[in-house]
Amino acid sequence: EPIAHPQGPDPLEDRMGHRDVGEGEELTDPEGIETMPPPHQEAPQLRSHLHPGTHRDPDLPRRGAIPLDDDRRTIPPDTDVPDDARHRARGLHGRSPCRCRCRGGPPTRPVYAPMPAPSRAGDLPRAESTASVASMEPTAPSPELRFGRKQILATILTLAVVVVVFAEVLPKLGDYDRAWEAIRTMPPVWILALVVATVGVVVVYVWPYTAVLPDLGYRRAFVVRQTSFAISNAIPGGGAIGLGVQYAMLAGYGIGPGAATSAIGITGLWNTLVTLGLPVFAAAALVVAGEASGPAWIGAAVGLVALTGILGAFAAILRSERTARRIGALVDGIVARIGAAVGKHFTVDAAQALLRFRASIVDVVLARWPRITAANVTQQLAQFAVLWIAVASVAGPTAPSGVEVFAAYAFARLLSFVPVTPGGLGTVDAAMAAILQAFGMAGDLALAAVLIWRATTYFPQIFLGAATFVVWRRRTR
């Protein structure tokens, strides 16, 4: 009589060619490679071929499996396993142990007690599935400081722009000698105020990072933030290098690629939104203070509408994945129409890009957006405070009003988006001095105030970032 399985026939195994055998009957493998003895005999040592691409080394036990004795190919008696697993492994019920013939080929490992099977008994995850899952993990850029052709060209362009701005443009706005004289004769109280404001800029600059990654801690966030500032603002074309260094430093502090991508993306996005929003509020403030003419009303209204639309679209993307897909499809359609108009084919796939971007930031933004917004606004206002103190210290009672200084700062900062020089070095300074002069400030004093602002908000963080980078590199070696 055939010995039936205690839990009844297994339809899945029946489809794979397994069947019950009688007492004393020899079970032949369907492919004729292996034969199993009758159920009352012990299983012989099976061959253990390594099947490339499907299994690990057969000598390494499968995770979660119950190995058999090497000499008898049976489960040790003291092993706590279900009875049906023990019987199946020893062949007492006439069932052949799984020998991974689901993909064909010879046996790939010694006999093991069966594990909870995937979708098919003995089946293994497909290689392409593993690759697709791995591809979803963010990858960190390389932090190595390599200077290629792009860095060389960016360095040449940066030097050319800086020389033109500081040697040709700024001298036309004011005299360097008179500007230096105004700086040298600053009252001590204003010098102390500048020192305090400069320290405040350095301290507050870390807050956007701690708002996104509160578990990172201020000290570690300080190292990451100052190092990335130094690399991005001192090295021409160093934005990509600074990005890679941030990933490497965060990884060293235990922050995974997903959380690092979220933190870096949110910090950059919020900085962009605040920088774009400041000119709108500056124009509105000028109008309210009565220091602007009719066109300023129009500019403030248009800017406010545009900013509201941008924030509304961003909020809709965060609120609904379906809305993000629709907005991405709309962008794809606009790009396709532009390409058709110029006779070219552009492939953007904005829908997938928006979905990936949304997935990387949505949880953090929905949970911490008030703190993130407050941190980024405070950072920008700290830099404005330095400019306002510099203007007041050199101009005295003839200094422009605080609203006008704020407008000069806000509109000049827009030039930092032009990727000509790192951090807008030179371009932002020239625009800031010109706007201050347009508000009635003397050219020499405007030049002095801008030079003070640049010296106090740029060079201290460059030196601090260089020091933190050296310390970090020594600790990681």
Q: Residue 305 pLDDT more than 80? A: yes
Q: Residue 80 pLDDT more than 70? A: no
Q: Residue 163 pLDDT more than 60? A: yes
Q: Each residue of 7-54: pLDDT tens digit?
A: 555 444 444 444 454 555 444 444 444 444 444 444 444 443 444 444
pLDDT of residue 294: 59
pLDDT of residue 334: 87
Percent of the chain with pLDDT over 70: 68
pTM (predicted TM-score): 0.67
**Domain coordinates in residue numbering, the chain:** 1-126, 149-301+363-476
pLDDT of residue 296: 65
pLDDT of residue 230: 92
Q: Rounded mean pLDDT of the chain? A: 75
Within 10 Å of residue 38's Cβ, how many Cβ atoms? 14
Q: Each residue of 416-446: pLDDT tens digit?
A: 888 788 888 889 999 999 999 999 999 999 9
What gap in Å lies between CA 324 and CA 350, rounded to an integer? 9
pLDDT band at 346 (very low <50, low <70, confident <90, very high): confident
Most confident residue range from 10-24, 128-142, 265-279 = 265-279
The mean pLDDT of 155-171, rounded to a whole number, is 89
pLDDT of residue 417: 86
Strand partners, 113: 66
pLDDT band at 273 (very low <50, low <70, confident <90, very high): very high
Q: Each residue of 206-223: pLDDT tens digit?
A: 999 999 999 899 999 999
Residue with more model confidence, 447 or 112: 447
The mean pLDDT of 391-396, rounded to a whole number, is 94
Q: Each residue of 400-418: pLDDT tens digit?
A: 999 999 999 999 998 888 8
pLDDT of residue 246: 92
The mean pLDDT of 447-464, rounded to a whole number, is 95
Residue with more model confidence, 387 or 476: 387
